[in-house]
Amino acid sequence: MKSFTFCILLAHVLAFPLFAQKNAAITLNLAKAITQSPKTVMLSELASDVRYFPLETTDNCLLGNECSIVYAGNSIIAGDAQTRSFYRFDKNGKFMNKIGQHGQGPEEYAVGLLFFTDPDNQKLYVQDFQDLICYDFNGKFIRRIPAPHLNMGTGAVSSGESILYCDNNYFIRKDNPQQLFLIDGNGKKLKSWKGYIEPGKKYGINLSTRDVMYLHGGSVYFKPALENLVYKIDADRKKTLAWKLDCSGKDVDVSANEIDPAKRFKSIAVQQVFESDRYFFVLYVLKNESFVGLYDKQKKSFSNVIIKDDLAAGFDFTPPGTGLGNQLANARMVGYLSKGKRYSKALLPERKKELDELINRLDEEDNPVMIVVTLK
């Protein structure tokens, strides 16, 4: 196991004021940000704690070259795209069990590439094109849920056990471009929303970015792959605009055909977003450069940043990866930790000691190491 491909893209990023009306959508100017030098921020300015711990490596759990790792509070879920397997670890990285089975049976998933979790109810939803296969975190099959418009979009569990998911090919049906679907736990449609179609455009194949959802404050937030906007879907099933990502002059070209890798990332491509009570993080890519944007809600300022770990004398931290509440998590290859450059000082000596000991006992073939940050 020499390398990993995570659903987490790396980045660097800068600073300028924002002007937004109260209760209106907040605009972050990414196009301007990429023209400025990133601001160096100490992790201690943002967070009160950081933990480094390995995902246990066993004969029954050796993650392959392409894995997606999701932090779900008391559990960590890893999906291995090569073996089409799902693994659960506890909050300290101890391997607990496999979840589900790849196959053609009624309790099995046929695809097993994409998934999302419901941390509150300890459930995993494996996306199977026209179905969601639901398991509990202990691996028990719960039900197969019809989701006829799912395709390769994304999903999240809304209030209660309602499920919000999107059709990433909504634009094919120009006469009725339904994009978002809210269903109950049995697949009954509760509501749907149309997506935006650029007039006069022939849509191509976009592989630089994808639909993203995250949870915050009891609502689901949705960033469509082909729009630089973030929508809020609240418990009352109202959809409102929450964030505008200004990519003026570098917006996504919906007509681009990106099957050829050389044609990808020609426009600003947002990879991930995450929001806490105080901060909003956005990861984005342009050409061969990646960036981390940080908006401070108290200071009302936006910066592209490089975050130095001065808590554990660790490595540059690249949020958001995955997150839950006020905790952000990322994963690193063992090779990076053994060779990467660390910050020189530690405000939490016990965390530095833990990291020192961890690096000394890691083997190159071990599973990735989790980095979990507790935001202020």
Q: How many domains does the chain have?
A: 1
Tens digit of each residue's pLDDT (9 = 90 or more) over 241-293: 999 999 999 999 999 999 999 999 999 999 999 999 999 999 999 998 999 99
**What is the per-residue pLDDT across 302-344, written as a single tens digit (0 to 9) for each?**
999 999 999 999 999 988 778 888 999 999 999 888 888 999 9
Average pLDDT over residues 75-103: 97
- How is residue 38 written in tokens? 């990133």
Q: Quick check: 14 pLDDT over 90?
A: no
pLDDT at 176 over 90: yes
Question: Taking 80 as the threshold, does the pLDDT of residue 68 lie above it?
Answer: yes
Distance, in Å, from the CA atom of 355 to the CA atom of 337, rounded to the nearest integer, reads 10
Mean pLDDT computed over 59-69: 91
- In sequence order, the 6+-apart residues with CB closer than 8 A to the CB of 187 are 145, 146, 147
Which pLDDT score, from 0 to 100, does residue 13 have?
31
Q: Taking the CA atoms of the chain, what radius of gyration do you get in angstroms? A: 20
Q: Is residue 171 part of a domain?
A: yes
Residue 229 belongs to what domain range? 16-375
Q: What is the structure's pLDDT at 1?
A: 42
Q: Which of 46-50, 62-66, 220-224 has the lowest average pLDDT? A: 62-66
CATH number at residue 267: 2.120.10.30
Q: Indicate whether 179 pLDDT > 80.
A: yes
For residue 6, what pLDDT is reported? 44
Would you say residue 5 lies in a domain?
Answer: no
Whether residue 328 lies inside any domain: the answer is yes
Burial class (CB in 10 A: 0-12, 13-18, 19+), 128: buried
How far apart CA 331 and CA 150 sit, in angstroms, is 28
Label residue 23 by pLDDT band (50, 70, 90). low
* Residue 288: per-residue pLDDT: 86
DSSP annotation string for 118-181 = ETTTTEEEEE-SSEEEEEETTS-EEEEEE-TT-TT--EEE-STT-EEEE-TTGGG-TTS-EEEE
Helices marked H in the chain — which ranges?
A: 30-33, 43-46, 334-339, 349-361
Q: Is residue 2 part of a domain?
A: no
317 with 41: CB under 8 angstroms? no
| Euclidean distance between CA atoms 209 and 55, whole angstroms | 28
Torsion of CA 147, 149, 151, 155, to 10 degrees: -60
Whether 9 has a pLDDT exceeding 50, the answer reads no
Does residue 136 lie within any of the structural domains?
yes
Report whether 70 contacts 80 (CB < 8 A).
no
Evaluate whether 263 touches 269 at the Cβ level (below 8 Å).
no
Q: State yes or no: pLDDT of 94 exceeds 80.
A: yes
Instruction: Specify the range with the lowest mean pLDDT, choosing from 155-164, 193-202, 245-254, 272-281.
Output: 155-164
Q: Above pLDDT 70, what percent of the chain? A: 94
Instruction: Return the pLDDT at 152.
Output: 83
What pLDDT, on the 0 to 100 scale, is given for residue 340? 87
Judge whether 90 lies within some domain.
yes
